[in-house]
A and B are shown apart, each in its own frame.
Chain A
């Protein structure tokens, strides 16, 4: 365990020094983060800016901002940790570099998941946290709410990671998976609004088919204390089940991997 923690530190250090070479990029990345935050906020504020609009799907403005905050936080997590690593999987399979990863004396799934960090997009995470702080400052938030939201948000991150890993693992057979992740981004865009803001049939899809609802709506519900015990339990169960399934899938894919040249 300590060995893996040490490896995370080494990988982070390597990513940082590789990226510090391109200093001009940092300025651009900050602009991009602010832009994304702008998009997220604009969508929600126009909805509430209409005469007579006091709630969206039963959520007040501040409460809906919590959902936006979790959305931005998750976007940050994806661009810092998930996307840089997962997009390299299909490339490694195509070129045969995956062989080196599989030969190393550490768990290959761990290696492909945390090797590269795009710290340039870390401002996304900070903006998300800032928005969460701002939104909850005007709401009656309890310590129990914060703790349960934090726990449930961990499930969210596991869910996001598992969906991406599952999609990227298909690269062992399909080779090209970049488009599949585009599709994930498209669906994930729905997470910027509380799931109750959608018509009922769509809500069902966003909860049970693609579990987008668990990623942002559920932690926000925990924070405002409107979470039902059933959903509170469902989120970690979904996360654990997804993790188990994707782990099996990954091991199966690696076992049937025949390298690039054979």
Chain B
């Protein structure tokens, strides 16, 4: 146990130092993920112009709450591992990693986790500022906050795993970025970045509940707006766990199959 703990601590502190180097960039990256903010402004204007000042029971302030919460959660779920794995595999940089007594998966994973801690202070400050400007109000129920942190951690892990899988495709193909874009589209759309899921056509909703996406963005956002119950949070966590297990097994299998294929450059 202490063995694993020491590795974790060393990995975390080195990765944190590495990510802290990029603190200015991290803020720019945060500001460039504007899709949910754009959608927030459009929906707020739609609700303000609608008769009764509401669209499907959402007032402008409630839209502000929902979309700011989506933005917050989506910022915690940013994953770029596919972009790093792709050149590592193609150019043979993976080889020295394979000599270490630790699956490279863990370095990437801890690196992403460490970056969350670099991101968090500025992220919370920006959310507070935007919430004040747009008139968003987050729920006062205390249990929601640990639940959201838990769902976000699960959601991040699931997203990290599928991005890692896409990155591993570099063992076989030379263009994984387009797959990544497609999966991102599904995640953003079914996650509820364009609108709360209840606004989608019914057949889309019926498909979406079986995917992990609605529980990664929409559900935490609904919780923070005070529009979801503890029971729904529990169900969401169960679905995410299920997908997490599937992706973990897939990852192990693809990794082994990939290594058998891997020739490295010049090997």
Contact = CB atoms under 8 A, between A and B. Distances in A.
Partners in one complex: yes
Nearest to A46: B195
B187 to A, nearest CB: 11
Nearest to B42: A197
Given A49-B201, A179-B29, A189-B34, A25 B175 contact: yes
Interface string A153-191: 000000000000000000000000001101101110110
Given A22-B174, A32-B177, A42-B189, A198 B34 contact: no
Interface of A: 22, 24-25, 27-29, 31-32, 35-36, 38-39, 42-43, 46-47, 49-53, 56-57, 179-180, 182-183, 185-187, 189-190, 192-193, 197-199, 202
Contacts of B56: 50-51
Contacts of B38: 189-190, 192-193
A202 B189 CA distance: 24
Given A179-B25, A199-B48, A186 B42 contact: no
A249 B248 CA distance: 52
B106 interface: no
Contacts of B32: 179, 182-183, 185-186
Contacts of A198: 41-42, 45
A53 B55 contact: yes
A81 B160 CA distance: 32
Contact of B31 (A25, A31, A52, A186): A186
A189 B32 CA distance: 9
Interface string B172-194: 01110111011001001100001
B178 A52 contact: no
A39 B189 contact: yes
